[in-house]
Structure 1
Amino acid sequence: FGYVCNCECAPFLCSVLAISMDMGFGLPAHGHLLRPPSPKVRHRTCAKKRVVFADSKGLSLTSVRMFSKKEEKPHEEAPVSLRLKSLRWVGECAQGPRLRVGFAQPCADLQAFQQRVRHSPVLLESCCVTKRALVGTVRVWNLSYEKVVHVRITFDSWRTQQDVPCAFLQRCCGEPDTDSFSFHVGLPEALKAQEHIEFCVKYLPEGHSQAFYDNNDGNNYSLHVCN
């Protein structure tokens, strides 16, 4: 058995032939030794997606931003109206007040109140009690430019009394030729249920020697201690 090859690959072929003979393999068919391997069909493989969390890489899971007081924009609060439509809890012990009003809201019947305004120089318009204060509004005739309006109140059955000045309110509605005033009366720390807690409204226009009063037709406006 002889095989002669004059090409430049002779040394390589001879080595392959010797190895094949030693191992007992037959000689491959002529022309198959130098045939390049057939190209393999590459199949596209889909890479598996993985979810990586920030903390696994040593990163923080939260981001904190500090704001200074200069950066914070203050919230604008709407003005608090003392009109009846805003006093939805009048006469009730809402928000824990220690007192409750003992009379009907003056302007609950708006038409009746407007009729009374035409005949009374001063009238309590609205009233409510909070945890620490008695607040409300008063309507007066515009008899002069300068007006002095007070709420006269007692917490001990008129053994003592105090006059609390009322503040002028810019006119927003109401009868012509009338002005509105608001009041805010702080409540004492101790309130006794057996005492008469009452108040009335006093109005003194400039140039008048006698003051006008609204004392609830002689009965005064009473307040009761909540049980």
Structure 2
Amino acid sequence: MDVPSCLSPSHNSLHASLSPHRAEPLLQGPFRSCLVRQSQRQSPKKRVVFADMKGLPLITVHNFSCDIQHSEKLPSSSSVQQLMPAGPTEVSSYTLGFSQPFLDYDRFNRCLETQKVCLERCDIRGLFLQGTVQVHNVGYEKIVVIRITFNAWTSFFDLPCVYMCHFFPGDTDIFSFQVELPSGPPGPDGTIQFCFYFQCAQQIYWDNNQGYNYSLKPSDCFPMNFVSEQISLSPL
């Protein structure tokens, strides 16, 4: 059997491995797997060191407990009620002398379209007259004023209304007002009257309740003798 020249240096060993008279293996020594599982290295534990602004280590450690110790007892419900501010105890001697405009929706829209300004709703809470007014968005700069009298137009006051922001802009804007009413017994019917005017784009629009103005009347919660005395003493 001819052996190639490239295998000539190991001819004897190859011939010995192919001989049927020798049972010894070519490679001496124990067999080992080529995949050797190495033991996992234990990574050192991380250590966190806190430092101050200058880089120096902080050596003061404060331990806080989750248990909260209350040194004072909670106040009773009666003492809490005494600490709460008292609500308004004084009630106005007037009530509305007209129905809410927004209740008649069609009439309200017609007035708003014609006058460009219209009282939307009004209410008396405590000693305050408050409500909202709608105006047409005919220009950017708007002035809305409530004109009110407490003596049947012998004198009057002009008080500006406040613009109310809303998330859905449209063809109209809303303004609010709040006026303090006089305390004590009410005056004659029609003593307190008010109306609104809206100034925009060098134009002035009025809402005076179709020429009748909005008026307040004496409340039923006051005795009628107070009202009769005020009527007899009134010069009107």
Task: Report the TM-score range of the alignment, normalised by the length of the smaller protein.
Answer: 0.5 to 0.7
Structure 1 residues 221 and 173: CA distance shift in structure 2, 3 A: farther
Query: Is residue 188 of structure 1 aligned with residue 182 of structure 2?
Result: yes
**From 206, 215, 234, the counterpart of 1:222:** 215
Matches within 5 A, 1:61-140: 65-66=73-74, 96-140=91-135
- Give RMSD over aligned pairs: 2.7
Q: Deviations over 1:26-50 (max 9, x none)?
A: xxxxxxxxxxxxxxxxxxxxxxxxx
Kept in 2, the 8 Å contact 1:98–1:131? The answer is no
Task: Quote the Cα distance in structure 1 between the aligned partners of 2:138 and 2:153.
Answer: 30
- The reply on whether 1:146 has 2:154 as its aligned counterpart is no
Hey, what does 1:163 align to over in structure 2? 158
Amino acid of the residue matched to residue 218 of structure 1?
A: G
**Alignment TM-score, normalising by the size of structure 2:** 0.52
Query: Counterpart amino acid of 1:214?
Result: D
Indicate whether 1:213 and 2:206 are aligned. yes
Cα distance, 1:201–1:190 mapped onto 2, change above 3 Å: same
Partners of 1:169 and 1:181 within 8 A in 2: yes
Q: Deviations over 1:51-104 (max 9, x none)?
A: xxxxxxxxxxxx95358xxxxxxxxxxxxxxxxxxxxxxxxxxx8332100001
Q: Which moved more, 1:146-155 or 1:189-198?
A: 189-198
- Matched residue SS, 1:184: strand
> 1:73 is matched with which residue?
none
Question: In 2, Cα distance between the equivalents of 1:66 and 1:187?
Answer: 41
**1:142, 1:189 → 2: CA distance?**
37
Take 1:160 and 1:104, find their aligned partners in 2: how far apart are those partners? 25
**Counterpart-to-counterpart distance in 2, 1:150 and 1:118:** 19
**What amino acid does structure 1 have at the position aligned with 2:174?**
S
Separation in structure 1 between the aligned mates of residue 185 and residue 142 of structure 2, nearest angstrom:
32
| Amino acid in structure 2 at the alignment position of 1:117 | L
Is residue 155–residue 191 contact of structure 1 (8 Å, CA) maintained in 2?
Answer: no
Whichever residue aligns with residue 169 of structure 1, its letter is M
Q: Comparing both structures, which one devotes a greater share of its residues to helix?
A: 2
Alignment gaps of 5+ in structure 1: 1-62, 68-94
The separation in 2 between residues aligned to 1:108 and 1:134, in whole angstroms, is: 19
Unmatched runs of 5 consecutive residues or more in structure 2: 1-70, 76-89, 223-236
SS of the residue 1:113 aligns to: helix
**CA offset at residue 145 of structure 1?**
1.1
The one-letter code of the counterpart of 1:189 is S
CA contact (8 A) 2:93 2:186 kept: no
SS of aligned partner of 1:118: helix
Q: CA deviation at 1:177?
A: 1.1
1:225 maps to a residue whose letter is P
Aligned length: 137
The whole-number CA distance in structure 1 between the counterparts of 2:116 and 2:167 is 19
Identity of aligned pairs, percent? 37
Question: 2: distance between equivalents of 1:177 and 1:191?
Answer: 42
**Separation in 2 of the partners of 1:149 and 1:65?**
53
TM-score w.r.t. length of structure 1: 0.54
Larger deviation, residues 95-104 vs 162-171: 95-104
